[in-house]
Amino acid sequence: MAPLLLYAICAAGAIGLYLMLRPGARSVKSIGALLGFAAVAYLGVRLALAADLSAGLGLRDFPFFVAIFAGVAVAAAGRMITHPRPVYCALYFVLVVVASAGLFLMLQAEFMAFALIIVYAGAILITYLFVLMLAQQAESEEDLRSLAEYDRVPREPATAVLVGLVLVAVLGDALFGRTAENTTRPGQPWPTVAVAEGVAREWAALDDMPRARNAVIEKLAPGYTEIVRNPMGDAITVRNGTAFVEIVTADGVQKTLELPDSARPGNTQRVGFVLVSSFPVSLELAGVILTMAMFGAVILARRQAELGDDRRRDAAARGPAGTLPNGSAEGGRP
């Protein structure tokens, strides 16, 4: 794709976003939303057409579901950053999370898709909603003017949109620019090496899970006496994407079994296996980070409680005239 066209599309999207942000008539904002969404959609459709659709893209049921999820994600993200009501922003972000969970499913990351919904939409977003409701003043349903001024008026929309435009344009140029032109041409051979390596890795993961492996072999050949290991020391030998295992049956005959494709460990099993076998230190560090964050949150809350106590004691010492029942604008100043 010509770089100039890419920049033009990005600029159209940026103008649309700016129109959405500008305080003005509703019609202008809808035109902006339409323009911004049309720019992103045009870019996506153009790229999808440039790709060799007949050969498949390795994305399940590609055109339909991916288009829907991508469209929902972009639209909800755009609405999220432009909506004046904070609670609606959080809800639109839930929509973004659900849409990207759908994309994760398309990309065969089933475990992460559901973990994303449970952890992000279920836990983190609910925390945000709690705090929003804790900190937000009551407002009337209809009147936008009852909203706080800092929610209605964006800060420096033109500069921010320009910065975002530059970022997306540079990233897009890296993806579809001159250097990437020949890798995106249709008819390019598939990276079959990556597939073969990936399949071999999946079988190797099964080999490292002795319980699961033995269960599979037991199912195929009940009553075998032992597994013959190959010269590499592995029980499972992978050839051309299929896996074999040599066993000795009860009669003392050596036999080669072909493992069925369904024996390959599923996504959740493999993610768990890689997490524990390849990143044990990172896993521990993640635990430490979570613990520290919990301590940090507790300490922040505790200091607040102590301040409140001090203030109450001061108020009591000053007498009934100077009582400050709860935290006021004066709070925290010496």
Partner 1 sequence: MTGLAAAAMAPLSMSPAALNLVLLLSAVLFGLGMIGFLIRRNMIIMFLCTELMFQGAALAMIAFGRMHMDLSGQVFVIFILTIAAAEAALALGLVVLLFRHRETLNAEAWSELRE
Name which of residues 69 to 128 contact partner 1 (CB under 8 A): 70, 73-74, 77-78, 80-81, 86, 89-90, 93, 96-97, 100, 103-104, 107-109, 111-112, 115-116, 119-120, 123-124, 127-128
Please state the φ and ψ torsions of residue 261, each to the nearest 5 degrees: -60, -30
User: Between 249 and 267, whose beta carbon lies closer to partner 1?
Assistant: 267
Cα–Cα distance for residue pair 260/221, rounded to 1 Å: 13
Which position among 23, 24, 122, 191 is part of the footprint of partner 1 (CB under 8 A)?
A: 191
Contact 131, 1 (CB under 8 A): no
Element (H, E) at 256: strand 254-259
Q: Is 194 in the site for partner 1 (CB under 8 A)?
A: yes
User: Between 215 and 297, whose beta carbon lies closer to partner 1?
Assistant: 297
- What minimum distance in Å lies between the beta carbon of 245 and partner 1? 19
User: Between 185 and 219, whose beta carbon lies closer to partner 1?
Assistant: 185
User: Between 112 and 245, whose beta carbon lies closer to partner 1?
Assistant: 112
- What minimum distance in Å lies between the beta carbon of 236 and partner 1? 17
Burial class (CB in 10 A: 0-12, 13-18, 19+), 22: middle
Locus of tokens 């140029």: 173
User: Between 167 and 228, whose beta carbon lies closer to partner 1?
Assistant: 167
Element (H, E) at 245: strand 242-248
Tokens of 187: 């008819």
User: Between 257 and 271, whose beta carbon lies closer to partner 1?
Assistant: 271
Using CB under 8 A, which residues numbered 233 to 292 contact partner 1?
261-262, 267, 270-271, 274-275, 278-279, 282, 286, 289-290, 292
Distance of CA 172 to the CA centre of its chain: 20
Tokens of 322: 């100077």
**Could you give the C-alpha distances from 199 to 231, 245, 277, 279, 332, in angstroms and in order?**
21, 16, 18, 20, 61
Largest CA distance in the chain: 98
Using CB under 8 A, which residues numbered 149 to 178 contact partner 1?
149-151, 153-157, 159-161, 163-165, 167-168, 171-172, 175-176
Please state the φ and ψ torsions of residue 182, each to the nearest 5 degrees: -80, -15
Q: Is 206 in the site for partner 1 (CB under 8 A)?
A: no
Using CB under 8 A, which residues numbered 16 to 55 contact partner 1?
17, 21, 40, 43-44, 47-48, 50-52, 55
- What minimum distance in Å lies between the beta carbon of 69 and partner 1? 9
Cα–Cα nearest to 85, from 151, 129, 134, 132: 151
Using CB under 8 A, which residues numbered 301 to 320 contact partner 1?
301, 303-304
- What minimum distance in Å lies between the beta carbon of 37 and partner 1? 11
User: Between 253 and 305, whose beta carbon lies closer to partner 1?
Assistant: 305
Contact 186, 216 (CB under 8 A): no
Considering only the stretches 27-35, 209-217, 244-252, 298-306, report the one whose residues sit in contact with partner 1 under the rule CB under 8 A.
Answer: 298-306
Tokens of 325: 């029942």
- What minimum distance in Å lies between the beta carbon of 13 and partner 1? 8
- What minimum distance in Å lies between the beta carbon of 282 and partner 1? 6
In our burial notation (b when 16+ CB lie closer than 10 A, e otherwise), range 111-133 reads ebbebbbeebbeeebeeeeeeee
User: Between 144 and 195, whose beta carbon lies closer to partner 1?
Assistant: 195
Please work out the total of residues on this chain that contact partner 1, with binding judged by CB under 8 A. Answer: 117
**Which residues partner with 256 through β-bridges?**
246
